[in-house]
Amino acid sequence: MRILGIETSCDETAAAVVDDGRNVRSSVVSSQVVLHARYGGVVPEIASRAHVELVNEVIEQALVEAGVTLHDIDAVAAAHGPGLAGALLVGVSAAKAIALTLKCPYLGVNHHEAHIYAALIDDPTLEPPFVTLVVSGGHTLLIAMDDHGRYRVLGRTVDDAAGEAFDKVARFLGLGYPGGPAIDRVATGGDAGAIAFPRPMLDDGNDFSFSGLKTAVVVYVRKHPQANVADVAASFQAAVVDVLVTKLLRVADQTGLGTLVIGGGVAANSALRRRLLDEGTNMGLRVVLPSVGLCTDNAAMVAAVACWRLAADGPTSLSAGAYPALGLD
């Protein structure tokens, strides 16, 4: 089953060709970061227009890199939610148009679910059940994946997503956009123990809150304008990582599930990966960290999950649309 996947839910225009849900023949990601950087965040209208301009070229490149033509494709998939409405519609429309032309199945897939399946691409031995943390710019979700297509959301953010907090703090510190990679980089030269930022809701259930932590950074820096930026970045990052890892390990304990999987852009964070691997392994848990390129938005994960969804549920109707607020459960 050879699937062409398309991803346009936010500010990455991506296409990939994946065989049988795991064998990535090509994965092309065209980032719009330079277009949004001067605004300090993604501008939805700019994102939609850029997707329109880029999508055909990116699909073409994915086919060329895979060494195939459209006629070698068995099904076409696009992330149809959650995400920015206008941005999602570009990928969905492109995928439907190709499916109509080729008379092959179209699949609209869940972007969160795709982030989880990124781990299955990298580790062919990985199978549910497992506990997974999907941490991106828009979401922070703790999920028990009981089987393919069966999810229980056990925790979510009550305000800002973890990635959003990284982006906002980086912007405040003048580190640029996107903020996560910038903080990750700067933090390597800082002392993570320098400032004791709060660990919001650490012992308060499985939900998350990052808005107060962001404010704590702002308040601290205004009070200490000479503070070392690397120390602030490292201390902020340590607080986020502490909360994410503590809650993920706790849920593993609560559910009795012995495998931990992370996904989404923040799963690329070096401190999070290091700490989870150390602590999880020490607790006798299996820790699966997808490669960094599969954590941030890409279309290989879209094609991967589409392969499973097609086998389980069949194609998506061409009359289905885009679903900006799509959930997982």
Question: In the complex, which residues of this chain contact ligand KG4 (CB under 6 A)?
Answer: 10, 136-138, 163, 166-167, 178-181, 184, 264-266, 268-269, 296-297
Measured from the CB atom, the residue of 190 and 315 that comes closer to ligand KG4 is 190
Greatest Cα pair distance, the chain, in angstroms, is 63
Does the footprint of Zn ion cover residue 297 (CB under 5 A)? yes
Q: How far apart are CA 50 and CA 13, in angstroms?
A: 8
Measured from the CB atom, the residue of 31 and 228 that comes closer to ligand KG4 is 31
Measured from the CB atom, the residue of 128 and 138 that comes closer to ligand KG4 is 138
Q: Which of 135, 213, 118 is nearest to 169 (CA)?
A: 213
* Nearest distance from C-beta of residue 109 to Zn ion, angstroms: 12
Binding span for Zn ion by CB under 5 A among 35-43, 197-205, 291-299, 300-308:
291-299
Query: Considering CB distances under 5 to 8 angstroms, the limit depending on partner class, which of ligand KG4, Zn ion, none binds residue 296?
Result: ligand KG4
**Nearest-5° Cα angle at 45, 12 to 39:** 75
Does the footprint of Zn ion cover residue 11 (CB under 5 A)? no
169-176 LR contacts (CB < 8 Å, sep 24+): 169/214, 169/217, 169/233, 169/236, 170/233, 171/40, 171/41, 172/214, 172/217, 172/218, 172/221, 173/217, 173/221, 173/229, 173/232, 173/233, 174/229, 175/229, 175/233, 176/37
Measured from the CB atom, the residue of 26 and 136 that comes closer to Zn ion is 136
Q: How far apart are CA 17 and CA 9, in angstroms?
A: 18
Query: Considering CB distances under 5 to 8 angstroms, the limit depending on partner class, which of Zn ion, ligand KG4, none binds residue 184?
Result: ligand KG4
Query: Considering CB distances under 5 to 8 angstroms, the limit depending on partner class, which of ligand KG4, Zn ion, none binds residue 160?
Result: none
Q: Which tokens go with 76?
A: 């076409």
* Nearest distance from C-beta of residue 17 to ligand KG4, angstroms: 20
Query: Considering CB distances under 5 to 8 angstroms, the limit depending on partner class, which of ligand KG4, Zn ion, none binds residue 268?
Result: ligand KG4
Query: Considering CB distances under 5 to 8 angstroms, the limit depending on partner class, which of Zn ion, ligand KG4, none binds residue 290?
Result: none
Does the footprint of Zn ion cover residue 136 (CB under 5 A)? yes
* Nearest distance from C-beta of residue 181 to ligand KG4, angstroms: 4
CA dihedral 195, 296, 39, 182 (to 10 degrees): 30
Measured from the CB atom, the residue of 42 and 230 that comes closer to Zn ion is 42
Measured from the CB atom, the residue of 168 and 250 that comes closer to Zn ion is 168
Q: Provide the 3-class DSSP secondary structure of residue 156.
A: strand
Does the footprint of Zn ion cover residue 132 (CB under 5 A)? no
Size of the site for Zn ion (CB under 5 A): 2
> Contact 297/29 with Cβ under 8 angstroms?
yes
> Contact 240/213 with Cβ under 8 angstroms?
yes
What's the length of the chain?
Answer: 329
**Nearest-5° Cα angle at 216, 212 to 220:** 170
> Contact 31/10 with Cβ under 8 angstroms?
no
* Nearest distance from C-beta of residue 139 to ligand KG4, angstroms: 7
Measured from the CB atom, the residue of 167 and 315 that comes closer to ligand KG4 is 167
Q: Which residues bind Zn ion (CB under 5 A)?
A: 136, 297
